[in-house]
Amino acid sequence: MEQRTYNQYCATARTLDLVGERWTLLLIRELLTGPKRFGDLQASLRGLGTGLLAARLKHLEREGLARKVTLPPPARTSAYALTEAGEELGPAVLALARWGMRWALGERRDGETFHPGWAVLGLEACFVPEASAGLHLVYEFRVEDEVFHAAVDDGSVQMVHGPAQRPDASVAMSEDVLIAMASGRSSLGAAIEDGSAAVSGDTAAVRRLADLFHIPAPRPRKPE
């Protein structure tokens, strides 16, 4: 398949030549949280056929944005990971997520798929660095069967799939509560306050959560 191009000597146009095709940035999104097997990507990107997924992955490999790796024991299976160039797309993807939460997300539409694991990057996009100055805290989040954690370290955060070894605080919620937070109908602080999100651990760490992760309020794109 011939790669389409804007045929412009412009950094933005050249970047869109590489990642502007449908599904490509979503593949980048998935790989930003770590290496994924072909089946993992297929399960997370429902609607993306096997043939198109293979073609998009070959494109990312060919352009130096992703590479094949072998997962460590006990898995020892083939997977895909981002290269240095692919990793540097992270801030752009997070910026799109922040913009989308304010201007595009809204309520969930009929037929739209949702994966709680997408909250890993979503929470990273909502992180407030200045609120974490001098703090060293680990938060574990459980959304039904999905578990991930956030390591806050003096102005930075690392979001990781899987449980934390020694979390300072843990938060558990249903998928519906997470969707309500993403759509602006609730907030992390409100969910904790009304009990729809169950919390445990250090009280002071729990109180800091709403300041550390701020989901932007949705706004209409068209003037009223």
- At residue 13 the predicted structure's pLDDT band, cuts being 50, 70 and 90, is very high
* Count of domains observed in the chain: 2
From CA 79, how far away is CA 193, in angstroms rounded?
A: 41
| Domain-embedded: residue 98 | no
**What average pLDDT does range 176-193 have in this prediction?**
89
In a shared domain, residues 137 and 208: yes
| Domain-embedded: residue 84 | yes
Mean pLDDT of the chain: 94
| Domain-embedded: residue 100 | no
What is the pLDDT at residue 1?
54
The token pair that represents 102 in the structure block: 């304010």
- Residues 6 or more apart in contact with residue 107 via CB below 8 angstroms: 183
In a shared domain, residues 122 and 200: yes
From CA 209, how far away is CA 137, in angstroms rounded?
A: 10
First to last CA, the chain: 44
Check if the beta carbon of residue 53 is closer than 8 Å to that of residue 41: yes
pTM of the shown model: 0.90
In a shared domain, residues 123 and 77: no
In a shared domain, residues 79 and 121: no
What is the pLDDT at residue 2?
63
What is the pLDDT at residue 76?
84
| Domain-embedded: residue 101 | no
CATH of the domain at 38: 1.10.10.10
127-169 confidence digits (pLDDT tens)? 999 999 999 999 999 999 999 999 999 999 999 999 999 999 9
| Domain-embedded: residue 105 | no
19-78 confidence digits (pLDDT tens)? 999 999 999 999 999 999 999 999 999 899 999 999 999 999 999 999 999 998 887 899
**What average pLDDT does range 162-178 have in this prediction?**
96
Where does residue 195 fall: left (phi above 0), alpha (psi -120 to 50 degrees), or beta otherwise? Answer: left
| Domain-embedded: residue 23 | yes
Q: What phi, psi does 61 have (nearest 5°)?
A: -65, -45
93-132 confidence digits (pLDDT tens)? 999 999 999 999 999 999 999 999 999 999 999 999 999 9
Structural domain containing residue 51: 11-88
- At residue 215 the predicted structure's pLDDT band, cuts being 50, 70 and 90, is confident
Peptide bond into 129 cis (omega under 30): no
Check if the beta carbon of residue 215 is closer than 8 Å to that of residue 97: no
Identify how many contiguous H helices and E strands the chain contains and give both numbers. 10, 7
Q: Calculate what percentage of the chain has a pLDDT beyond 70.
A: 99
| Domain-embedded: residue 128 | yes
- Residues 6 or more apart in contact with residue 137 via CB below 8 angstroms: 151, 152, 168, 169, 205, 208
CATH of the domain at 130: 3.30.1050.10
Q: What is the CA radius of gyration of the chain?
A: 19
